[in-house]
Structure 1
Amino acid sequence: MTEPTDPQPSNASALLSEAMTKSGLLWIDVEGDRTWPAWHVWDEGAALVVSGPGEQPLPWLPADVRLILRSKDTGGRLLTVRAHSHVLEPGSPQWERAAELLRASRLNAVDDCVTRWAAQCTITALVPYDSPVESPGAYAADDHRRAPARTAATTTSWRPWHLGGRGEERVARKRVRAEAKAARKADKERAKLRKKRRRRGGPFRGL
């Protein structure tokens, strides 16, 4: 894999390597877009990510991005680093190595994912460079919280069975029962009124 453009201080480099290897999740901050979560594999100074049909949703990444890394122990922000993004060419030695490493880390694969990646997906190497933008003791005030990423995922068919029905179903049934009860009560009141008018000899047409 391509080495970082500018060597990092040894302590920052060690912390970066530890953060990348201990956690398989990072966030890619794309300028003008949003921060995207991505699972990755760390290999020789580069974070490898795959995206496309059947994989994690990622936009087309610009040449320079920022990577936000979390602490495996606390789950909180640990480092923010600049990185160059390089799209790997399918069939190249770099792509073949990256695909094998990603395949080994890919969970719940149900097909020949490497063949699918070559035809439909994009494998990108994210190579950190320069000193960290954020590190322990030097964090920006921004907490980096963002709205959830857009996705086409939805529930289209079967939903789990709930004892007594789902909340909205229970409310709808309760409303129907209340309406039926009110209608029965109104019918009884009209019937009583008709009887009273018959006894009095008054008109009752329309009741």
Structure 2
Amino acid sequence: MTQTLALIEEATKKSGLIWVQGPTGPSRALWHVWHEGAAHLVGGPGEQPLADLGLADGARAAVTVRSKDKGGRLVTWHARVSELAARGEEWSAAVAELKGKRLNAPDAERIEERIEERWATECRVLRLEPEGSTVELPSGALTAQPLPTPAVTRMPMPAALPRLLRGRRRGRQG
């Protein structure tokens, strides 16, 4: 069991993203921080969308950890979800860690005061604690259909573009 927890902790600490599959909804990539034996994440308005995953206090989730350098799946572990009470001792400790990892916050100016206040009033801070010794190692291709999105792929590259780029390089060298 100790080796299993060490594997979960080390893999999750090193990964920038974890894939979380809650009781409902799709599996979603979420940024997190490992703190005091669990993955902590924040979601809500202006943050990660968590509403459709069913991550409520006492729920169970499957957490898949990817390799930071290769991007492949390393391990999947099962977690017990708990929502931390805003401004409580546990919440404050987790938020202190999460603030340091939050990139591009909408309230980046005076981040110390604003982000904590916004997270306390509008967002949820969740703790995903490893449960039992259940660990699944990767097997198979694990491909999945992408989630629907209004984003579109850009048009194909014009056929003449490679010739134009080659011509520019020759012009600069001469």
Runs of 4+ aligned residues of structure 1 deviating over 4 Å after TM superposition are none
Which residue pairs with 2:96 in the alignment?
A: 100
Which residue pairs with 2:20 in the alignment?
A: 28
Distance change >3 Å, CA 45–CA 114, structure 1 → 2: same
| 1:140-199 superposed Cα distances (whole Å, 9 cap, x missing partner) | 44615242376xx87xxxxxxxxxxx959xxxxxxxxxxxxxxxxxxxxxxxxxxxxxxx
Q: Is the 8 A contact 1:53 1:121 kept in 2?
A: yes
Q: Secondary structure at the match of 2:47?
A: coil
In the aligned structure 1, how far is the partner of 2:123 from the partner of 2:67?
A: 29
In the aligned structure 2, how far is the partner of 1:149 from the partner of 1:82?
A: 26
Among residues 24, 29, 34, which one is paired with 1:42 in the alignment?
A: 34
Which residue pairs with 1:133 in the alignment?
A: 135
Q: Secondary structure at the match of 1:21?
A: helix
In the aligned structure 1, how far is the partner of 2:47 from the partner of 2:148?
A: 14
Q: Secondary structure at the match of 2:29?
A: strand
Alignment of 1:120-159 (within 5 A): 120-135=122-137, 139-141=138-140, 143=142, 145-148=144-147
In the aligned structure 1, how far is the partner of 2:33 from the partner of 2:144?
A: 24
Higher RCO (C-alpha 8 Å, min separation 6): 2
The aligned amino acid for 1:108 is N
Distance change >3 Å, CA 38–CA 167, structure 1 → 2: closer
- Gapped regions of structure 2 (runs ≥ 5): 108-113, 157-174
The aligned amino acid for 2:146 is A
Structure in which a larger fraction of residues adopt strand: 2
Q: Does residue 80 of structure 1 match 2:79?
A: no
Moved more, 141-150 or 93-102: 141-150
Q: Is the 8 A contact 1:28 1:67 kept in 2?
A: yes
TM-superposed deviation, 1:72: 1.9
Q: Secondary structure at the match of 2:46?
A: coil
In the aligned structure 1, how far is the partner of 2:148 from the partner of 2:134?
A: 25
| 1:49-93 superposed Cα distances (whole Å, 9 cap, x missing partner) | 000000011124041011001112321011111100000110110
In the aligned structure 1, how far is the partner of 2:155 from the partner of 2:72?
A: 34
In the aligned structure 2, how far is the partner of 1:120 from the partner of 1:149?
A: 26
Q: Secondary structure at the match of 2:50?
A: coil
Percentage of identical aligned residues: 39
Aligned length: 146
- Gapped regions of structure 1 (runs ≥ 5): 1-8, 155-165, 169-207
| 1:109-152 superposed Cα distances (whole Å, 9 cap, x missing partner) | 242111101110000000011123312xxx344615242376xx
- TM-score scaled by length of structure 1: 0.63
Which residue pairs with 2:168 in the alignment?
A: none
Distance change >3 Å, CA 167–CA 17, structure 1 → 2: closer
Q: Is the 8 A contact 1:48 1:98 kept in 2?
A: yes
